[in-house]
Amino acid sequence: MKIGRRELTAAWVAIGVLWLSLQPFERTAKGAYKLSDHLSVTFLCWITAALVGVTFYQLSKGQVQVPHFLGKRFRRISVLSVVVALAACIIASAVLYGICAINHSRALAQLEHGDKCAKETDWPTAIACYGKAIELQPALSRAYIQRGKAFEEIWPMDYDSAISDYSRAIELDANDAEALYLRGLAYYSTVQPKDGISDLTEAIRLKPDFAQAYRFRGSMLLSLGDTTRAIADTSEAVKLDPDDDANWYYRSLLYERIGKLNEALQDATRAVEVNPSRDNFWQRAKVRTALDMDQEAIQDYSSAIQLDPENHLLLRERASEWRNLNEAAKAQLDENKAADVESRHKVTRDFVRREKDAAAHNEALRKQRKD
């Protein structure tokens, strides 16, 4: 049979497309593709059928020479071949769609169950559910992100696994600002501020109004001694989202650390106005203490203690303020309460000292992790 250049090209393209379609089929059967990838596989199958049909059509029209032994039967053979090719594509498309849909549905069910467990702080079960979702749908980036968050909540915190999950999510979607932001936080927690800054900078590029990314990049810049840029970033966070008390709180903390106490007091007061929380009262109390505003500081400590009466650090810090005001009896009462809390919770003196020294840093870190 003599075949022209056009027909030969069409035939080879059809064979190439068919070969390519086999690879996605194998991976889709294992759940390595998202549901949307079914469309690309179907497209390849139908292109294959179309090229096969064009080739046989040209043959049947006598545009190329056909062996004599086929004779008049060739037209029927060509039509039958096209029908078979189309039927095969329909069946393959249906199978692919079914496999993708079932795996995707099961993966989303596991993801939803994991989110429910996370809300109940059942982190081990949540991690297991997210893992099952990933097994069913390895390209489901949200499952990696959620599991990464869970790894950071268990004790001891597994930052390496979290970073690995966030990295996988970024591989799946390089434009996922949330994944970059979360990996940046994890890098900072593992004392890798430069890597964290790189991720947060990319997250900000993808999402210019990402106030949380600005706020936390400011923290990293401060840890590297770049106070000017740190204040600029936290100020941008305040500008972008003035209704988020964490932005005011954290800029207050930065101002306090560089000695700008009046500015720190203004921001702490604004944080309290937006959200009268324990942390915000505590921060303003510390700033007022530094400004020798002992009476006002005691008022803030008292407000914070009302919200968290079992916090031994707050009790001891208020006791220190009572002593500054020569109120020894009240100071002793707070110290006794703090000692009682520490005794009931088996808190050692060394732990109290270390915890007190790290209080400011820990509170700032909790603020940055707030959703």
State residue 155's pLDDT score: 84
Query: What is the C-alpha to C-alpha distance for residues 290 and 283, in angstroms, rounded to an integer?
Result: 11
In the block, which residue shows the tokens 């001694």? Answer: 225
- pLDDT for residue 29: 39
pLDDT at 285: 96
The structure tokens 């101002």 sit at 255
Do 124 and 130 meet the contact criterion of CB atoms below 8 Å apart? no
| CA distance from start to end of the chain | 70
Residue 207 clears pLDDT 60, i.e. is over it:
yes
Domain C-terminal end among 101, 117, 132: 101
Q: Is the pLDDT of residue 246 over 90?
A: yes
Task: Assess if residue 163 is contained within a domain.
Answer: no
Q: What tens digit of pLDDT does each residue of 187-203 get?
A: 999 889 999 999 999 99
Kindly report which listed range (30-44, 71-85, 214-228, 302-316) carries the lowest average pLDDT score. 30-44
Band the pLDDT of 98: cuts 50, 70, 90.
confident
Residue 268 lies in a domain: yes
Does residue 111 fall inside a structural domain? no
Cβ partners under 8 Å of residue 209, min gap 6 = 240
Q: Cβ contacts of residue 59 below 8 Å, gap of 6+?
A: 1, 7, 66, 74, 78
Residue position matching structure tokens 């991976």: 27
Q: Does residue 70 have a pLDDT over 50? A: no
Distances in Å between the Cα of 161 and the Cα atoms of 90, 127, 178, 217 are 42, 11, 17, 22
pLDDT, tens digit, for every residue of 10-37?
555 665 555 455 444 444 433 444 444 5
Q: What is the pLDDT of residue 104?
A: 84
* Residue environment code for 76-97, b if the CB has 16+ CB neighbours within 10 A, otherwise e: eebeebbeebbeebeebbeebb
What DSSP line would sit under 306-354, residue for residue? Answer: HH-TT-HHHHHHHHHHHHHTT-HHHHHHHHHHHHHHHHHTT--HHHHHH
| Residue corresponding to tokens 């039967």 | 73
Tokens of residue 5, six digits: 């250049």
For 35, 161, 260, the CA distances from 156, given in Å and listed in that order, are: 36, 12, 36
Please give the angle made by the CA atoms of 279, 281 and 287, to the nearest 5 degrees.
105
Is 263 within the bounds of a domain? yes
More confident residue, 361 or 296: 296
Beta-carbon contacts of 134 under 8 Å, excluding residues fewer than 6 positions away, are 107, 140, 143, 144, 147
The domain boundary residue, chosen from 72, 101, 130: 101
Encoding tokens for residue 86? Answer: 């189309």
Domain boundary (52, 68, 101) is at 101
Q: How far apart are CA 21 and CA 12, in angstroms?
A: 14
* pLDDT-based confidence at residue 79 (cuts at 50, 70, 90): low
**Residue type (1 letter), 308:** D
Contact status, residue 141 vs residue 154, Cβ threshold 8 Å: no
Check whether 78 has a pLDDT greater than 80. no
Show Cβ contacts of residue 326 under 8 Å, excluding neighbours closer than 6 positions: none
Nearest 5°: the CA angle 253, 254, 258 is: 120
Structurally, how many domains does the chain consist of?
2
- Scan for tokens 């005691």, then name that residue: 298
DSSP conformation class of 3: -
Reported as a pLDDT band with limits 50, 70 and 90, residue 8 is very low
In a domain, 61, yes or no: yes
250: burial class by Cβ within 10 Å (0-12, 13-18, 19+)? Answer: buried
Q: Domain span at residue 340?
A: 242-371
Q: Is the pLDDT of residue 274 over 90?
A: yes
Average pLDDT over residues 75-98: 62
Residue 306 included in any domain: yes
Q: 3-state DSSP call for residue 298?
A: helix
How distant is the alpha carbon of residue 308 from its chain centre? Answer: 30
Q: Which residue has the higher pLDDT, 222 or 128?
A: 128
Q: Which of 42-56, 147-161, 255-269 has the lowest mean pLDDT?
A: 42-56
CATH of the domain at 363: 1.25.40.10
* 290 domain residue, yes or no: yes
| pLDDT tens, position by position, 312-361 | 999 999 999 999 999 999 999 999 999 998 887 765 555 555 555 544 44
Q: Answer yes or no: is 330 within a domain.
A: yes
Q: Write down the pLDDT at residue 91.
A: 73
6: pLDDT strictly greater than 50: yes
| Mean pLDDT across the chain | 80
Query: What is the gyration radius of the CA atoms in the chain, in angstroms?
Result: 32
pLDDT band at 107 (very low <50, low <70, confident <90, very high): very high
